[in-house]
Amino acid sequence: MIGMNSYLNAYVDRRMQAIVEEWDLANRADLSDLTLRLDALEREIPGLKTFEKSAADKLTELETRAGKLKKRA
């Protein structure tokens, strides 16, 4: 069994970069600025909520106009 463990360890060592990419794993470089990236995302949330509300209002307005146009036809 020791031979199999050595073989598997060597394989993983050789293929580690491909495994990280294929499985979409995080590495130290990805995690080094994680808190900064999370802070940036949290700062964007209020603006996205405003956009979502604006888009929903515009969609409601367009649906109302489309309904009026259907009644005319």
Q: pLDDT above 90 covers what percent of the chain?
A: 67
What is the pTM (predicted TM-score) of this model? 0.51
State mean pLDDT over 50-66.
97
State mean pLDDT over 3-18.
90
pLDDT tens-digit map of 16-50: 989 888 999 888 888 999 999 999 999 999 999 99
Q: Which string of b and e fits 16-50 if b means at least 16 CB within 10 Å? A: eeeeeeeeeeeeeeeeeeeeeeeeeeeeeeeeeee
Residue 2 has pLDDT above 90, yes or no: no
Q: What's the mean per-residue pLDDT of the chain? A: 92
